[in-house]
Amino acid sequence: MGRATLVAGDWGTSRLRLFLCDADGAAVDTIDGPGASEARDRFAKLFDSLLIDWMSQHGPLPAILCGMVGSSFGWSEAPYLPCPARPEQIAGACVSLRLGRVRIIPGLSCRNRLDAPDLMRGEETQILGALHLDPALRRGQHLLCLPGTHTKWVLLDEGSVREFLTATTGEMFALLSAHSVLVSDEPGRTGSTTITSDAAFSRGLTEHRRFPEASVLHRMFEARSRRLSRDLAAADTAAYLSGLMIASDVRGALELFAATGTVHIVGTAQLASLYAAALNSQGRDSRSIDGAAASLAGLLHVHRLLSRPVAMHGT
């Protein structure tokens, strides 16, 4: 194990993941902990207790954190930085705690394509990681997709985050899976949100293409009516619904962002493959970047930017 020099952490709403990193930026150990919604009011205490072993082994280490830990309910608020935002501006807006030994990366805000305020917190770090991992993203315009509970569609412009748009597809699907008669005759007893049928998901994508302009509000009931009409197996209902919803999300985003070229997906392997299939079904190429790797790369990149001895000038 290399000598540990940094603790990097992604402290989201439902989970904390801490990485112990060596001087080369490799994660030599990890710890999982409770998310920000559980940590509420005791971030500092929780952080210290989780780090006891690492600190006793490696001495005091600086830490860089992102996610809901920087929200108004977090450890210390790191106010949203308005877009367009360059990596060095995001680094420069980090909030310092404990005399700079702990830094929190701010979220981003923008006025989105629908002229509404929009917000992200945590995803900005994955975007920075993607920019670091794939230098080609720093030139020209690129559309990124960060699928999750609240999927972020992000427009990169010459290495800066120009604007983004949030889609609630993931949350809607999770709510339906857990609670709705659309997905199950006995909602609450099932509630798995894992897509187990590629064929049913693909069928949802294909069906969407027949009426691409229809609102998802007018298509979701199909999941139930097809099931009751024996046109869809009960076990395939969730996957079919997911196909319809993700296709609608993708179609709307591609219409709003006229950006051409490959769409870069930053997320878990499972979600990335669903969005890749939906993009492909609508004639768009995509490339996937692992979300956890992007988070870590982004945390390390911001740490490096902040560790430069002189004024920051570009990435």
Least Å distance, CB 157 to a second copy, is 20
Residues contacting residue 163 through CB under 8 Å, at least 6 positions apart: 83, 84, 110, 111, 112, 113, 118, 154, 155
CB of 115 to a second copy, least distance (A): 7
Question: Which lies closer to a second copy via its Cβ, residue 63 or residue 238?
Answer: 238
Peptide bond connecting 84 to the previous residue in cis, omega within 30 degrees of 0: yes
Q: List the Cα angle 215/216/222 in 5-degree steps.
A: 120
310 Ramachandran zone, left/alpha/beta (phi>0; psi -120 to 50): beta
Of 243, 240, 235, give the one whose Cα is nearest residue 185.
235
Least separation in angstroms between CB 231 and a second copy = 6
Q: Name residues whose C-beta falls within 8 Å of residue 103's C-beta, 6 or more positions apart in sequence.
A: 62, 63, 64, 65, 94, 95, 96, 97, 302, 303, 306
Which residues are near a second copy by CB under 8 A?
A: 73, 109, 114-119, 150, 165-169, 171-172, 175-176, 179-182, 185, 207, 210-211, 213-222, 224-226, 228-229, 231, 245, 248-249, 251-253, 255-256
Best CA proximity match to 166, nearest among 137, 182, 146: 146
Nearer residue to a second copy within complex by CB, 91 or 241: 241
Nearer to a second copy, 198 or 255 (CB): 255
Q: Which CB atom, from 178 or from 293, has the smaller least distance to a second copy?
A: 178
Q: How far is the CB of 57 from a second copy (least distance, A)?
A: 38
Tokens of 44: 């500092």
H helices present in 118-162, as ranges: 123-133
The nearer residue to a second copy, 31 or 119, going by C-beta atoms, is 119
Q: What is the closest distance, in whole angstroms, from the C-beta atom of residue 208 to a second copy in the complex? A: 10
Segments in the chain forming alpha helices (H): 36-39, 43-50, 52-58, 87-92, 123-133, 169-179, 198-210, 221-228, 237-256, 269-281, 291-307
Tokens 């006025």 map to which residue? 111
Residue 163 Cβ, how far from a second copy at the closest point, in Å?
A: 13
Shortest spacing between CB 283 and a second copy, in angstroms: 18
**With respect to a second copy, which residue has the nearer C-beta, 91 or 237?**
237
Could you identify the residue written with the tokens 């920019």? 131
19 or 75, CB closer to a second copy? 75
